[in-house]
Structure 1
Amino acid sequence: MSNIPNIRFKGFTDAWEQRKLGDMVSFSKGSGYSKGDLKENGTPIILYGRLYTKYETVISEVDTFADEKKGSVFSKGGEVIVPASGETAEDISIASVVEKSGILLGGDLNIITPPDEMDSAFLAISISNGKPHNDMAKMAQGKSVVHLHNSDLEKIDLPYPNYDEQRRISGFFFDLDNLITLHQRKCEQMKTLKKYMLQKMFPKNGQSVPEIRFDGFTDAWEQRKLGELSFSFEYGLNAAAKEYDGENKYIRITDIDDESHEFKQDDLTSPDTDLSVVDNYKLSEGDILFARTGASVGKSYIYKASDGLVYYAGFLIRARIKEENNPEFVYQNTLTNNYEKFIKVTSMRSGQPGVNAQEYSQFEIMIPSKAEQDKIAYCFRNLDNLITLHQGECEKLKKLKKYMLQNMFPKKG
């Protein structure tokens, strides 16, 4: 049977072939090891759970170890492994290539050894996506634990091109995965740096100066309450949300990302009210929002003009910072351990946790001169921009990968 994908590399025009996996490869099983066998050092080992927690097409480095047992199965390099059991059919309908030889392969692994004319990485990508993946998921059997056997894998229909095209496809996705990993790693490095700087660039309890300062600043910081730094605390708009009208955005607690504290704009809404009479609920540059109730109490967000025309909802409190203070500096204080402790203590209620405007106004902040605030604010905003940049690039690459997986393999079997 022949079929052709939507997107191909130049120079490849032959139709793909399709055969049963069992007619092309050989199958075997790993040997019985479990998490209880893992040790700090020993022989490298791969257990089935790794495949659906790390999602690697090619396993290059192994950081789990065990003592060798009699009858153990070792990789020779280039095998494709598929979990034999897991919690869901989707979990186990995936595959990875074991790049190196001498790796112990655990018992709940189906092992596929492809022939010389089939690229291992291409086979793993094919199994983990598209029709072969869907067919595998249908075959997985079980209730609390689902199982997939080599006898099931034998029946999978696998479309494939010639070896050169296989290598071009697997190489493309290998490079794409490396780019995604690079941006993820950079993002984590920036997050780690920011966490460190938040601990070092604000004074610890009982101290009047931070451990790290910019050159030229030596004066002691002064303690102020958030209410002293703000000229207003106001509750948000009491209106339901409706479908986004293309201009007027509505921010609710759930629209603030739990980790980045950015305004999530992938599912926008507009306030369902007469907007001609609610100008006071429009956000302005530097406005800081606080979640006042529920599991997300204490979550904060600072408005930026790039977020567009935004109205804020009723379960949020807006603080407007006085001109003699830097709003970004104040906002970054809401990401510190000191703020987290304040919220934990202040939000305790007999029912649902909450912090009202009066209570928020009592949060104590150590304040340096405006010039030093500006320097610190600029530093952290740059870090946040770098984090957002790498996250954005990572998401773009993931979308590209998803699109290419859908279009570089035949859709019909």
Structure 2
Amino acid sequence: KQHKKGLMQQLFPAEGETTPRLRFPEFREAGAWEVKRLGEVCCFLKGKGLPKTAITPHGVAPCIHYGELFTDYGEVIRDTKSYTDSTNNCVKSEEEDVLMPTSDVTPNGLAKASCIKEKGVVLGGDILIIRANKQLAFGEFLSRYIRYKEQDVLRYVSGTTVFHLYSSSISKLKIALPELEEQQKIAHCLSSLDEVIGLESHKLDALKNLKKGLMQQLFPQEVA
């Protein structure tokens, strides 16, 4: 994970810069990234409804409750975990939408962004949907970049007791964009690294369980 963090610091431009330190060979002569406001390359929608009581294990449609963005999903959503039967008058995802929670009791949680790869997922209330112009921006690149720019995002959070993130505010976020092909290359590179991290995490969990079982056999059980 530390390696991934260091890699992102090289793949995305530093504060005030428009060229990253590390570029893939085919893009080294491509020039600086173009600075845009998020609102110049995206439109914004809002999820609707979907209380927790509407989530059921055997529902007819996949869904995402806004609270799951804090706990269940990372920078990319490939498989949804919840289902619902509440599909009337709902808002559904398009492929490569970027989802952000819009309210929380702490501001830091609102700097989370997740790119959903699946079309037709029911999106609940308190979810901000960032839908990119596909000719200009790649959703997965945006979700990773927004998370990388956490401190910049937090400047657009408002509130004192309950904190909020509004589309009218986050639309002003400055982002530096390369050509679409380079965005996709960066996103795919980080996805490959995520897969390696996931495999290593499973191995680590298996080793921890092995150690726990071994200790139960190596040390005496409680004596009455």
CA distance in 1, matches of 2:207, 2:58: 31
Deviation sequence 1:137-177 (CA, Å, 0-9, x none): 12211223211011112111111111111111111110111
1:195 deviates by 4.1
1:114-193 to 2 correspondences below 5 Å: 114-117=132-135, 118-130=137-149, 133-193=150-210
CA distance in 1, matches of 2:51, 2:214: 40
Alignment partner, residue 89 of structure 2: 71
1:33 deviates by 1.5
Is 1:110 matched with 2:128? yes
Q: Between the two proteins, what is the percent identity of the paired residues?
A: 31
Letter in 1 for 2:125: G
Alignment partner, residue 62 of structure 2: 44
Alignment partner, residue 4 of structure 1: 19
Is 1:54 matched with 2:69? no
Letter in 1 for 2:179: N
CA distance in 2, matches of 1:122, 1:161: 10
SS in 2 for 1:82: strand
1:246-285 to 2 correspondences below 5 Å: none
Is 1:93 matched with 2:108? no
CA distance in 2, matches of 1:2, 1:161: 13
C-alpha spacing 1:38/1:197, structure 2 compared with 1 (3 Å): farther
Alignment root-mean-square deviation, CA: 2.2
Q: Would the aligned equivalents of 2:75 and 2:115 in 1 still touch at CA under 8 Å?
A: yes
CA distance in 2, matches of 1:15, 1:105: 36
- Which of 6, 16, 22 is the equivalent residue of 2:39? 22
In the superposition, the TM-score normalised over structure 2's length comes to 0.83
In the superposition, the TM-score normalised over structure 1's length comes to 0.47
Is 1:84 matched with 2:102? yes
1:196 deviates by 4.8
1:268-347 to 2 correspondences below 5 Å: 329=218, 333=219, 338=221
C-alpha spacing 1:162/1:33, structure 2 compared with 1 (3 Å): same
CA distance in 2, matches of 1:25, 1:96: 15
Q: Would the aligned equivalents of 1:97 and 1:121 in 2 still touch at CA under 8 Å?
A: yes
Deviation sequence 1:181-206 (CA, Å, 0-9, x none): 1111122233334445556xx4xxxx
Letter in 2 for 1:40: P
Q: Would the aligned equivalents of 1:136 and 1:152 in 2 still touch at CA under 8 Å?
A: no
C-alpha spacing 1:70/1:182, structure 2 compared with 1 (3 Å): same
Deviation sequence 1:253-287 (CA, Å, 0-9, x none): xxxxxxxxxxxxxxxxxxxxxxxxxxxxxxxxxxx
Q: Would the aligned equivalents of 1:93 and 1:127 in 2 still touch at CA under 8 Å?
A: yes
Q: Would the aligned equivalents of 2:54 and 2:86 in 1 still touch at CA under 8 Å?
A: no
Alignment partner, residue 50 of structure 2: 33
Greater relative contact order (Cα 8 A, min sep 6): structure 1 or 2?
2
Q: Would the aligned equivalents of 1:89 and 1:138 in 2 still touch at CA under 8 Å?
A: no
Letter in 2 for 1:173: L
CA distance in 2, matches of 1:92, 1:34: 19
CA distance in 2, matches of 1:171, 1:140: 29
Q: Which runs of 5+ in 1 are unaligned?
A: 203-328, 340-363, 366-413
Q: Would the aligned equivalents of 2:42 and 2:132 in 1 still touch at CA under 8 Å?
A: yes
1:22 deviates by 0.8
